Amino acid sequence: MSDAWLKMTAAELGREIGAGRIDPLDLTKTYLAAIARHPLRDRIYARVTESRALAEAAAASARAKTGQRLSPLDGVPISWKDLFDTAGIATEAGTALLRGRVPELDAVVLQNATAAGLVCLGKTHMSELAFSGLGYNPITATPPSVNDPDGVAGGSSSGAAASVAFGLAAAAIGSDTGGSVRIPSVWNDLVGLKTTSGRLPLEGVVPLVASFDTVGPLCRSVEDAALLLAALEGAESSAELKGATLGGVRLLVPTNPIFGKSRKEPQAGFDRAVARLEAAGAEIDRKVIDCIEPALDLSPILFATEAYGTWKDQIEAAPDKMYSEILQRFRAGGTFGGADFVQAWQRLRALRRQWSVATAAYDAVILPTAPSLPPKIDRLAQDHEYYVTENLLALTNTRIGNLMGLTAVTLPTGIPSTGIMFLGAPNSEEAVLRLASAAESALA
């Protein structure tokens, strides 16, 4: 057993298992030991599923010894955000409203991953009911950023990102409704994949806004993201990453005024990354995309109305159990009428068509993943205006991908807690992952 395993990508671990150089049971024990001794364990993991992990690892070990591995990631231990149902194990979505909730079945994506041989290490902390991009949660726990012990990890998949960044999981599975995979990925120097709405099943996933909710991995490499996508949908990976190049690739940088709010470090990381992509052969264009601001203006009604409609009864039965900032965000959805909600969706569908026309000539639209760095935990706890401002700013760029129904990948830029995001057409995961793989090489 070796602690060096804790820094390897999931794909590397899978290859070592396939070659007989790592035993899945030893690997899982190494991760469980690392979790047990880590000082941040209880701020990252809500529950560690040790018995399940050891049983799954033992089965993977037996398969590896007889050449019957189920997938390239068979035997690799990963973590799961605490909104994915786990049979017989509490799934509480970071809220006291669901305390003691124990599902009877695994979420479908967890069933698929288990069928691919992945080992479930446990459930990670998250923003309450996934309704924040910051990851601050005084109801359960708040994981820190790997780059700033006083800063949040990003949300809502906060513990998911921290589990990988601190070497307590080979990869993690989170969800993304407005940026909840990508924000914690960027603030912890990880790769994050936001899948197209509907690409991966949501059965057994505690909802926030089902119309926008998506499932995706947080991991150490684009290769990991491609392999995990395949495992989550119960298929073989169809993303061909070998030989990916930026030669002839056309990328668009939107120059809308709203992106002028990006702070110094994130903008520097993005500019550095763009220069490297251009040096590697990518063609970079810059122009305003007129439909972005009108789409963002629809966010309050589209997200909050459906979220409140989904959770109103539970919330109003016990509002005192909720963190006040999250409670206010939900209740804001009760201020809109049904006609307004329908009209907003009609408007968004028209804006999506405008986006498609404006970006059709490009392989991807690129932006700083987050325009800010991790906010400070102590100040978020005490300053309402700071919480609201930082949350809205953090989600500005990522939310475009959800509103427009896109595929998105974030990569680290090399400057801590800054990232570059690639936005591709709906259901273009394979193409965007191939592009991201080429970009990953250029940025290395």
In three-state form (DSSP H/G/I as H, E/B as E, the rest C), the secondary structure along the chain is CCHHHHHCCHHHHHHHHHCCCCCHHHHHHHHHHHHHHCCCHHHHEEEECHHHHHHHHHHHHHHHHCCCCCCCCCCCEEEEECCECECCECCCCCCHHHCCCCCCCCCHHHHHHHHCCCEEEEEECCCHHHCCCCCCCCCCCCCEECCEEEEECCCCCHHHHHHHHCCCCCCEEEEECCCCCHHHHHHCCCEEEECCCCCCCCCCECCCCCCCCEEEEEECCHHHHHHHHHHHHCCCCCCCCCCCCCCCCEEEEECCHHHHHCCHHHHHHHHHHHHHHHHCCCEEEEECCCCHHHHHHCHHHHHHHHHHHHHHHHHHHCHHHCCHHHHHHHHHHHHCCHHHHHHHHHHHHHHHHHHHHHHCCCCEEEEECCCCCCCEHHHHHHCHHHHHHHHHHHHCCHHHHHHCCCEEEEEECCCCCCEEEEEECCCCHHHHHHHHHHHHHHHC
Q: How big is the CA angle at 369 (ends 368 and 371), to the nearest 5 degrees? A: 65
What is the separation of C-alpha 272 from the centre of its chain, rounded to a whole number of angstroms?
Answer: 23
> Which of the following is catalytic: 79, 132, 175, 180?
180
Catalytic, 180? Answer yes
Give the separation between CA 172 and CA 181, rounded to whole angstroms: 10
CA 45: distance to chain centroid? 16
Q: Per the residue annotation, which of 71, 132, 156, 175 is the catalytic one? A: 156
Rg (CA), the chain: 20
Any catalytic annotation for residue 156? Answer: yes
Residue labelled with tokens 């680290």? 412
In the set 81, 127, 237, 417, the catalytic residue is 81
> Which residues are catalytic, by number?
81, 156, 180
